[in-house]
Amino acid sequence: MAATAEVEVRDVRKIYRRDAEEILVLDGLTLDVPKGEFVALMGPSGSGKTTLLNLIAGIDRPTAGAVIVGGTDVTTLGEGELARWRSRHVGFIFQFYNLIPVLTALENVELPLLLQPFSRSERRDRALTALEIVGLSDRSKHYPRQLSGGQEQRVAIARAIVTDPTVLVADEPTGDLDSKSAEEVLHLMESLNREFEKTIVMVTHDPRAAAVAHTRYHLEKGRLVD
């Protein structure tokens, strides 16, 4: 495993404001995720693990501190730059898959490639390759409603890896799956990490999911504990 930190979280604080009330979600958190690492973030609800994941994925901004991913301090990027950065460097896996219902599996996987300078045939080839990696090339023309939960999540994983991102972030990727499907998805993520050296940061409540990761961090009240 490489020693270089792919993800550096430096003294990050995150405060949400609800009316006059301030809620401290992350309290000076620092974390390094080396390149090619598979990290699980665990902790009780409200501990700040999803918030931390969102900061690493560049879909939220810290109140203070820095988040450096692949050498880029994402906290310094403007909205448009951040979106473009996400399209190239982050693959996001949601708990509820978040596939677009009107698009086929192939079109869903192709979606992030619309933002890249690829021709139509290049986009199609890459999307098919990603579907092959997750073992669903035979379901390319199926719509999400025609797929099982596990298959939907694998399509979502294909969509996350199709741009060959710097880091894969997964928010409870097995949270909505039965145990067999969850096992398949975890196996897939493990092989992505092992064979393609993808850096993965995963939030999970599931101890079996966490067991697949190389490193497990526990958060409580916005801080890392042992």
Partner 1 sequence: MRFFPYILKHLRHNGFRTALTVLAMALCIFLFCVLETAIDAINASTESASDKRLITRHAVSLVFNLPIYYGPRLASVPGVRRVAGANWFGGIYQDRKNFFPNFAIDAEPYLAIYPEYILPPDQKEAFLRDPRGCIVGRETADRFGWKVGDVFQMESTIPPYRVGRPFEFVIRGIYDSDAARYPGTNLQQVFFHFRYLYESTGRRIGKGSFVLEIDDPGQAGAVSRAVDGLFENSSSQTRTETEAAFRASFIALIGNISLLLRVIGLATTFTILLVTANTMSMAVRERRKEIATLKTLGFTSGHVMGLVLGEAVILGVLGGGLGLLFGDRFIHVLPKIPMVGDIFRGVADRGLSPELGATAFGLAVALGTAAGFLPALLAYRERITTALRQL
- Binding residues (CB under 8 A) for partner 1: these are 54, 57, 59-60, 79-80, 83-88, 90, 92, 94, 98, 100-103, 107, 111-112, 114-115, 120, 159
Q: Measured from the CB atom, is 108 or 151 closer to partner 1?
A: 108
At closest approach, how far in Å is the CB of 73 from partner 1? 18
Extract the runs of DSSP E, i.e. beta strands, from the chain. Answer: 5-18, 21-34, 38-42, 64-69, 72-73, 90-93, 167-171, 199-203, 215-220, 223-225
At closest approach, how far in Å is the CB of 12 from partner 1? 15
Phi/psi for 144 (5° steps) reads -50, -40
Q: Measured from the CB atom, is 83 or 225 closer to partner 1?
A: 83
At closest approach, how far in Å is the CB of 180 from partner 1? 26
Q: Measured from the CB atom, is 3 or 145 closer to partner 1?
A: 145
Phi/psi for 141 (5° steps) reads -95, 5
Q: Measured from the CB atom, is 157 or 212 closer to partner 1?
A: 157
Instruction: Quickly list DSSP for 54-67.
Output: HHHHTSS--SEEEE
CB atoms within 10 A of CB 226: 6
At closest approach, how far in Å is the CB of 88 from partner 1? 7
Q: Measured from the CB atom, is 5 or 90 closer to partner 1?
A: 90
At closest approach, how far in Å is the CB of 174 from partner 1? 18
State how far the Cα of 177 lies from the Cα of 205, in Å rounded to an integer: 13
Cα angle value 163/166/167 (rounded, 5°): 105
CB atoms within 10 A of CB 191: 13
